[in-house]
Amino acid sequence: MAYTNFYNGNQMPTIGLGVFRVENDDTAKEAVKHAIVSGYRSIDAAYIYGNESKVGEGIAEGIKDANIKREDLFITSKLWIDDYGQENVSDAYHKSLNLLGLDYLDLYLMHWPGTNETLLLETWASLESLYNQGLVKNIGVSNFNIKHLEMLLNHAQIKPVINQVEFHPNLIQTELRTYLKEQNIKMESWSPLMNGEILSNPVIKNIAQEINKSPAQVIIRWNIDHDVITIPKSITPSRIEENLNVYDFKLTHDQIEQIDALNQDKRIGPDPAEFNG
């Protein structure tokens, strides 16, 4: 497993398991457990996904079956917009902890910026308080564009360590990636495989054939080669294993450029400038 360093000296695995749209039943538990046993050390959860209790069971069983410690894992959750505001953040954080069966999170994110600047800043200040109290190891944001980040950085006492955003070959976010690099904030991609849609793209398939890897492995490696942390989702044991098996090769400069050229500035999720839950 490879790791990426945050500006605060902490680090995060470059690949994790995403659990968005996974049912809150044994499907989630078994996927998480299998991922941990297979070598994953990062699990990306969120309160709004509605499956934190079963994800937590998978974490507990994975720790036991892999014979590792909780400290060996990096667990992320996210604060939903309905829980923004100074009076809500601590309760929401502890609610996720209880569902996950954990004593702390490695990373807690504001899930979306929302459209209320005052509420955004007030909420971030409450995340800073969690961090300053030692209740969470790292704090960050999700789905923030440059305007949101500039607003936040003008007022924040603590800079986010990461911005988790939509990033895939149809949305390569060049300007945002450059900005984040300048600010020493890591970028993380959600839905890197575009819900599987990008895997049938002829360019991706051709590169996969050239290097004898799967299309999914090509995309995940492309993320890593762009210094983007990524959390591909799968509930299929063989694909969970396959998605992690990307550290024995690199894409060539030409292959990376071919994939970059697929950019259409096309989103599969909401526009962060307009979304408010």
Pick from 263, 267, 269, 186: nearest CA to 226 = 186
Give the CATH number for residue 203: 3.20.20.100
Rounded Cα gap, residues 255 and 110, in angstroms:
34
- Whether residue 166 is contained in a domain is answered as yes
130 is a domain residue: yes
Q: Is 111 annotated as a binding residue?
A: yes
| Residue 79: predicted pLDDT | 98
pLDDT interval class at 86 (50, 70, 90): very high
Q: Which residues are catalytic?
A: 49
Judge whether 1 lies within some domain.
Answer: no
Looking at the structure of the chain, the number of domains it has is: 1
- Strand 139-142 and strand 11-13: the pairing is unpaired
Mean pLDDT of 195-216: 97
For residue 77 the two structure tokens come to 């959750």
Nearest Cα neighbor of 32 from 46, 24, 43, 47 is: 43
Residue 270 lies in a domain: no
Tokens read off for 121? 């800043």
Tell me what the mean pLDDT of segment 186-195 comes to.
96
pLDDT at 269: 96
H/E segment holding residue 44? strand 42-44
Do residues 11 and 5 make contact, with C-beta atoms less than 8 angstroms apart?
A: yes
Q: Which long-range contacts (CB under 8 A, 24 or more apart) does 201-205 make?
A: 201/169, 201/262, 203/258, 203/259, 203/261, 203/262, 204/169, 204/259, 204/262
Residue span of the structural domain in which 147 resides? 11-260
**Residue at 33 is within a domain:** yes
Across residues 271-275, what is the average pLDDT?
Answer: 97
Angle at 240 between CA 239 and CA 244, to 5 degrees: 105
Assign 23 a pLDDT band (cuts: 50, 70, 90): very high
In angstroms, the CA 159 to CA 140 distance is: 8
Summary mean pLDDT of the chain: 98
In a domain, 266, yes or no: no
276 token code pair: 């408010």
Instruction: Specify the pTM.
Output: 0.98
Q: H helices of the chain, where?
A: 26-38, 52-66, 89-100, 117-132, 146-153, 174-183, 202-211, 215-225, 237-244, 253-260
CA atoms within 13 A on the CB side of 35: 34
Q: Give the pLDDT band (50/70/90) at residue 131.
A: very high
pLDDT at residue number 105: 98
Residue 109 lies in a domain: yes
pLDDT band at 147 (very low <50, low <70, confident <90, very high): very high
Contact 114, 84 (CB under 8 A): yes
The b-or-e profile of 145-175 (16+ CB within 10 A means b, else e) is beebbebbeeebeebbbbbbbbbbbbbbbee
Q: Where does the pLDDT of residue 27 fall: very low under 50, low under 70, confident under 90, or very high at 90 and above?
A: very high
The pLDDT value given to residue 159: 98
Given a contact cutoff of 8 angstroms between Cβ atoms, the answer to whether 142 and 161 are in contact is no
Residue 267 lies in a domain: no
